[in-house]
Structure 1
Amino acid sequence: MKVVVTGSEGQLGYDVMRSLLRHDHQALGLTRELLDITEEEKTLNTLRELAPDAVIHCAAYTAVDDAEEDEKRCHEVNALGTKHVAMACKELDIPMIYISTDYVFDGSGEKPFEVNDIRNPQNVYGKTKAEGEAFVENLLDKYFIVRISWVFGIHGKNFVKTMLQVGKTRKVLQVVNDQVGSPTYTKDVAEFLMSLLDSRVYGIYHATNEGYCSWYEFAKTIFELSDMKDIKVEPVPSSAYKTKAKRPLNSRLSKENLQRSGLSKLPTWENALERFLSEISDHNK
């Protein structure tokens, strides 16, 4: 299968490209330099020329705090850019996988959000990703919307790498304890997307690693598994860190739809973290 990956040099896109090759697919990666998805005609013409069998749309504006002051650009990329990719997929009559986020929900309560719960984003990034979802749903029949959260992978910046770096110079860290979600390994998400391509069971899915924790619990586990047990992690409320964009307190996503569709859940986040730390160790050798 010939598959186009937008945002192929991003944290998820990098692992998606690797997974496609492992599964003997032809992977065509499109970086921002190769394709500006905010340009409608260029997007349509590029995908017409490549004539893929499917598109995995990873490209996104993900600077959550910057988006509060750069709403126009965030909307152009996450909403209109997604619309342009969806229009091309419609014309070519091919499936589209759109990578979305837990930020499309309002983060209230403690119950895991179901795939069809009402979208009620609380910041610019979440609103533009929700708009992207709506374009995909309205334009296409052959689509997968895949929501992920708290992502970490070998390529790019993430919370795990930040903690490991900060832990080299500081022995006491304060980490938020009232935001709860599922840390998610890009390598596991990428493999899940391969199963979606094979299944053709279209719809909305939540693809996070199993289990929930707070950022505080996540940080503690990172240091424990990295033999950095001398670092003290102190829990603090979100109010201790003022950010431009409002963060959801509840990022729990229900995976019941996976079982209903005959798809496998991802491994636990603890298992994913162990494998990721091993990957970092191998990468640094």
Structure 2
Amino acid sequence: MTDTLLRSLRERLLDESEPLAGMLRKCLLLGAETGSEALRDWARKELNGYGSEDEVPKYRKVGGPPIAMDSISGYTLAKNQIIARHQLPREAWEYVPDEFSFKQPIEELEQLAGQKQLSFASPGLAYAQTIWNGQLDEFQSIINLYYVMSGTVLAGVLGQIRTKLVDLVADLTADTPLSELPKKDQVDAAVSHRIGDVYNTTIQTTNGPVAIGAKAKASTEGLTVEDALRLLDEVQRTAADVADTQRGELLDALAELRASVESDEPDTGEVVKKVGKLRAIVDQLGVASVSAATGGAVQALAELALNGAFG
């Protein structure tokens, strides 16, 4: 099996059309055969995705993509305006990262890389929108902020992973015949040299999204409960755009959610339940400004709740 495994992995690496996922699964087997936890850990994280406490390799990090904006000025609606991060209010910069970490499983990245354009939002952008709207006059409003990115950016990330694999296997087979099993120390050294010590976990503090796709929502890393409550303030501000007959239900749901979050002993289940209720009401309303403001707030609170922020 050793001869078949090494030979198959080496031959498949030379075929550019071979999916990365299959080759990484072979790396899992090779790590098990050689006793290299370093190789198994790296292959497993690439296949399953990196967790919130995992150090993300440099090759999975890219510069922040352009930001698209939908806005209203007077009676004029403008959509898909491209702006740079420095055009946001300075107070919002800390919530809008200049570097992104892609933590998704390799197969998800491969699917996304085939798309012509990706767009996605984040709680950080939602908070930046709140700050910006607070500085505009009553005849101007930012309806939505979201990132846009070409799928070729992810194709570049995948290309780097493929190159890492080629270098890794080349190191393993340079002094070891395909019919023999590399020693554990050889495998560990090759992983450390070509990949880095990414199999050691550390607290991940990089602020950036973890979910990429068509208007996908991103991680709440870097946001606090207080920040999420400010996002709820923005939802309440946009409630003025809702018809009088429907506004009461929205305001009641907001008040209930805020009361649960600000309770002396907030209950995670209650917070999640009320977040779901608010989201359902907003979806039924179908008011763009309210939906945009609510998106970041409800996701931020839901993730904070599920991560134990409310006890």
Report if TM-score (shorter chain) is over 0.5: no
User: Which has the greater radius of gyration?
Assistant: 2
TM-score normalised by the shorter chain: which range applies?
under 0.3
Q: Which has the higher strand share?
A: 1
Compute the TM-score of the two structures, normalised by the length of structure 2.
0.24
